[in-house]
Structure 1
């Protein structure tokens, strides 16, 4: 399952050497050397695509799965799902700014998110610019273009939801100051690019991904993401057909148990719930995840949890999150725990996430993958798309598929409004700690009422994050989001 991603370290090292070694016989500018000498063969482009997938591990996206994963800070800790369970210090002020909804323009988490996603966009833009000049067989060119467009769409989809209007860059930029005069483009135009890229991707990506390439996008990943985009754009009539195509494909189902979905012991071939995931590889090869180590309660020895080091207290579940689970919900114990046993045998009351638990000797070197797209999410989105169009009865079976796997009774006969609230609740507990809650509440217009009712100091402008001060200092064309 992990063989494809073991290449990450070698690929990044290769690209680094490519841009830093001097050719004393025929020296060319560094930026030109990468474009002129690297992008020649199918293997070159394949390595470049692997490098583009590797950007999922950028700290501005999902990091190595730990406390440097900006997307989890911005979507979980800023919601009612979790809080930062560490002791406040100078070193983590930016994280506490998110927790307290007092976000500064120099916040390191939002800055990393902005920069990290644009690094990913830059990588795929270079691939797309160089592909027309490639001379290898057309089927591979078509696939590499489709993968690059999928990844560009994924990066821009995160950016536009986090920041609203953003810089729309569709070509590679060699000049390090080349973006310093590019103003923000309307969110509508950004979404137009996202949709056009995903349409190319869904039409040209392979239907199946072999185990040796686990972690690469299939056409079903593109359709699932496109359905999510349409739902975010309040176009349920366009979202429903795309999501239904994924359902009817027969490629995915909920036969994988909930806990097994996140277990490193579950093979790629047997995990029918995960459509796309950031993959990690333990074994001290630089490809492990730190998520389990960082989820352990703050300052507690990792030996109590089957690892080394000490806990980071990251993404500590709130009391409200704990109470969100219905009695008998099988997902609760698979997602979080409320106690642990101390070294002296006493029971300590503290909540922590166990969804990504990894038993192993090395801190920060877990094998547990992080899901980006899941079939359960597709089912719930499809139910939402149907319900939004007034087809509540038709939507019920898809909600109930998810509830049945969780060991819960079916919900039937709800009004359209009550079904929408049931979906909101189901998405919260099904997708807890996976980076969906903030997006869901903002997308449905429920962020302000839900959060303020629970006593959070959330304002209307918190539906977007601030454009980083570093970026506005470098580019006078960049305007700031209201409220910051």
Structure 2
């Protein structure tokens, strides 16, 4: 299940160094000669091994705090998609150190919010990494099949990063080439979201043709052709193009590469091997062993301040993504996913039950706090099935969509749903996605995508306004770049 992918997590730091070296381009010629002992784009991007390491490093950006962190409370994407929804709240005690997190929880988001700032910055770091790879690839002289794959991976990652950005912030800076000046992005304005989506679709179209159909266990965590098709289907669904979405999602289904034979709880278990986990299409890889590559998600999901020893680890709990009562009640009787996703109580040190809801989906018994082995899923087959059902239903093919919804329900131990009208089926899908994909970073995106965010949240008493469909452009970015406009409402 674990690969060398984690080994290169911190390789992307060199990208900043590349920029600093390029900044000296106006110096005398002798200053332009980069020493062979120095890492730079000029002397690093030579061999296939160099590019392979760079691509692996680009995947490592998934662990950037602005994306999925080290799996725990540093993960901006989980804050922005779960805590800002009706799925969870922040279970910690409010303090100066976590005011930004509580701003999200209370829907009072400042321009200097550290979570939104990290999300903006982290995604652009990843974009900078893959832009450098794409700029250097045409100059490489190694065999073409590897160049094709590396281009596909870089384009897939760029599309993934921009897809997150455009959904979180709307219009964003569209940067398609490496920038060789530390201040080179400061004059770039925001680009209309439609143009950003054009690049995302273009990149994924190339990626789906360039990427391999199968990923060997030793390369787990790298994107396959099916990952590109699944993501492209999600993009089309977000763009309200159900016909195109259905085509791509059906290609994933028809491939026969994936199924729901992995039990729901086993899907998230570190004991489930890559080869046997047919539900996960792509995941952020973590590796325990005190090598700096473990996940803190399980430690942070333990109830706030509770000794980790009660949950099989060290340290104390972070109270992250504390499930709401509304989510707990959303599970139907007999749904096998409920106990595999959350628990309402735990046993205290004296053996007495304590009533505090907490997430158990990523539970791992291990000796160290913040060093779990559980991977974090980015794309799952169950998500593909539900998206395909949604795409069919949006075209009025509700009866044809039912079997795909019911495949997911069957694994959860629930009866089939049949004979629903189109509007009722859409609500059934919304419900199914909520409980199937809880705590995986989908809920906020789903409600915004279906134009249901304000309606659902306000009905439950959350102080959500129309402008909360996007997050604010970070103050730091607008201070540095006068060309950047702010989203309405902030």
Q: Is the 8 A contact 1:153 1:198 kept in 2?
A: yes
**Per-residue deviation, 1:7:** 2.3
Whole-Å separation in 2 of the counterparts to 1:434 and 1:25: 49
2:479 to 459, 465, 473: 473
What are the superposed Cα offsets for residues 37-89 of structure 1, whole Å, 9 maximum, x if unpaired?
A: 10000000000000100000000000000000000000000000000000000
**Per-residue deviation, 1:5:** 2.0
Unaligned ranges ≥5, structure 2: 22-29
Q: Is 2:360 the partner of 1:347?
A: no
User: Equivalent residue of 2:340, what SS?
Assistant: helix
1:40 to 40, 43, 46: 46
TM normalised by structure 2 equals 0.96
Match of 1:255 in 2: 261
What are the superposed Cα offsets for residues 214-248 of structure 1, whole Å, 9 maximum, x if unpaired?
A: 00000000000000000000000100010000000
**Per-residue deviation, 1:3:** 2.2
Match of 2:25 in 1: none
1:362 to 357, 365, 368: 368
Q: Is 2:11 the partner of 1:5?
A: no
TM normalised by structure 1 equals 0.97
Unaligned ranges ≥5, structure 1: none
Mapping for residues 120-135 of structure 1, pairs under 5 Å: 120-135=126-141
Query: Alpha carbons of 1:29 and 1:222: their partners in 2 closer, same or farther (altered >3 Å)?
Result: same
Match of 1:154 in 2: 160
Mapping for residues 76-475 of structure 1, pairs under 5 Å: 76-475=82-481
Q: Is 2:81 the partner of 1:75?
A: yes
Q: Is the 8 A contact 2:9 2:57 kept in 1?
A: no
Aligned-CA RMSD value: 1.8
What are the superposed Cα offsets for residues 138-170 of structure 1, whole Å, 9 maximum, x if unpaired?
A: 000000000000000000000000000000000
Q: Is the 8 A contact 1:12 1:51 kept in 2?
A: yes
Q: Is the 8 A contact 1:293 1:364 kept in 2?
A: yes
Q: Is the 8 A contact 1:9 1:286 kept in 2?
A: no
**Per-residue deviation, 1:174:** 1.4
**Per-residue deviation, 1:35:** 1.3
**Per-residue deviation, 1:34:** 1.1
Whole-Å separation in 1 of the counterparts to 2:409 and 2:483: 49
**Per-residue deviation, 1:6:** 3.7
**Per-residue deviation, 1:12:** 5.3
Q: Is the 8 A contact 1:19 1:33 kept in 2?
A: no
User: Equivalent residue of 1:478, what SS?
Assistant: coil
